[in-house]
Structure 1
């Protein structure tokens, strides 16, 4: 993953990864930002309104970047931009005046599944994965230029170059109905597992057990299928651009 010399988020009790055995916690900007910007769905948790004892959680689209420094790399401080409908519970809360002047406190989770780890015993079965948890304060984006910039970033985070290959700019109604929250991240951590099963030494010495139980890793990948045209599609040709396993570009090339 990232180099150990990369700048890091502060290590606090709430974001410290506690795990026996092999250390899996990472706190550097690059590892965390890369996980968040390459995941398809972020899960966002926030305080529920009306004194509900259970925190709310919703899946959202988001992207980490810097509006003040568009050329900032993943190793530099970045903000998280979240996209949603203006009337959703989270967006309404983001617009209200909270007791905490910093904004609405959020917890954001991102996870990639990289493999199934199959061991000799159920206790040592696991996954290979990359996950990140972020804590931050959200405020609504009110600047028109920053909002448009964030919408473009989030759109292209789903499908590379899709923004310029669609009808833009958004209409006034689309801009009004869309809300962008900007999250100032205060701390974060990543947890990463790689490699083979970690079976007990006694089980590894059990030749009878090893002769009948397969052990190893089954890799998992995100795979996109063949594009299926919509009922109103009028473009005969499909231009496909593959960027790793991240995205497939569907672009208009004429009929």
Structure 2
């Protein structure tokens, strides 16, 4: 069995509330990031006109390593984020020696329905990364990141589409590489935590349903565009849809049944 690498604890990434759910394990944190469709990236603008509020953007991103493409999720990785060339975040990353950013991802696996609203909860996974974003300027690294992100949308899609991107597409696309300084996550798999007096009250238990409603993402059957000329759905797409749905449903239902 290999080593379990963890992010070192620091003031900015140490969990305090419900720290029994906290994880600093690289594999667990990176897996949450890589399986979340939308990441929320926050940063502070140096422009007074932007106002006093931190900016937060929904973005597509993926953990990876250009220098070590075969690196495992249990190893130190960068987070590559896809954006538009003129977006404010990219402009700030070019001016500064790395723009400080925070990246957040969350997934809900179940609704915990207890006897009282006070004890309702979610079964969930969340991760937060802290690091500095820089614009990728190397052409090979940019293509690496674009393929990494494209295949995170649907495995095999890079090869299944018209590639490589042309000059105009490459010029309009900005890829940010976030060098990770630290991170942490929370994984809550607890079931209903009902009070003794409620559990012993037949009036309550006979009236109120309690348990867990599993939650998982479902990818629907692909619907062809009006301009689509491919008559049969490519095998890689069919396998991806079925495989992702089976994995998501199994994960959520097994968690619910185990509580």
Q: CA deviation at 1:13?
A: 2.1
* Alignment of 1:117 onto 2:112: yes
Structure 1 counterpart of 2:86: 87
Alignment map for 1:154-165 (pairs within 5 Å): 154-165=149-160
- Deviation at 1:48? 2.6
State the partner residue of 1:67: 66
Matched, 1:16 2:14: yes
* Unmatched runs of 5 consecutive residues or more in structure 2: 248-259
- Give unmatched runs, 5+ long, in structure 1: 248-255
| TM-fit CA distance, 1:12 | 1.5
Alignment partners' CA distance in 2, 1:245 and 1:55: 35
Question: How far, CA to CA, are the matches of 1:151 and 1:131 in structure 2?
Answer: 25
1:130 partnered with 2:125: yes
Does 2:172 match 1:177?
yes
Residue number in structure 1 paired with 2:4: 6
Question: Contact (CA 8 Å) 1:110, 1:133: kept in 2 or not?
Answer: yes
Residue 198 of structure 2 corresponds to 203
1:225 to 1:177, Cα distance in 2 relative to 1, 3 A = same
Q: Distance in 2 between matches of 1:207 and 1:24?
A: 32
- In the alignment, the residues of structure 2 paired with residue 119 and residue 41 of structure 1 have an alpha-carbon distance, to the nearest angstrom, of 30
SS at match of 1:238: coil
CA contact (8 A) 1:108 1:134 kept: yes
Q: Secondary structure at the match of 1:142?
A: coil
| Distance (Å, rounded) in 2 between the aligned partners of 1:218 and 1:4 | 35
Q: Do the aligned partners of 1:4 and 1:28 also contact (CA within 8 Å) in 2?
A: no
Q: TM-score, normalised by structure 2?
A: 0.88
Structure 2 vs 1, CA of residues 136 and 90 (structure 1 numbering), >3 Å: closer, same or farther? same
Query: Is residue 220 of structure 2 the alignment partner of residue 221 of structure 1?
Result: no
In structure 1, what is the Cα distance between the partners aligned to 2:6 and 2:246? Answer: 25
1:47-71 deviation line (CA, Å, top 9, x unaligned): 1342321000111010101111111
Shift in alpha-carbon separation, 1:205–1:8, aligned structure 2, 3 A: same
Residue 45 (structure 2) aligns with: 48
Normalised by the length of structure 1, the TM-score is: 0.90
Change (3 A) 1:246 1:67: farther
Change (3 A) 1:246 1:83: farther
Between the aligned partners of 2:226 and 2:87, the Cα distance in structure 1 is: 29
How far apart in 1 are the matches of 2:199 and 2:4?
Answer: 38
Residue matched to 1:252: none
What's the RMSD between the two structures over aligned residues? 1.8
- For residue 73 of structure 2, give the secondary structure of its aligned residue in structure 1: coil
Matched, 1:234 2:229: yes
User: After superposition, what is the alpha-carbon deviation per residue over 1:221-252, rounded to whole angstroms, capped at 9, x for unaligned?
Assistant: 111112111121111111311333399xxxxx
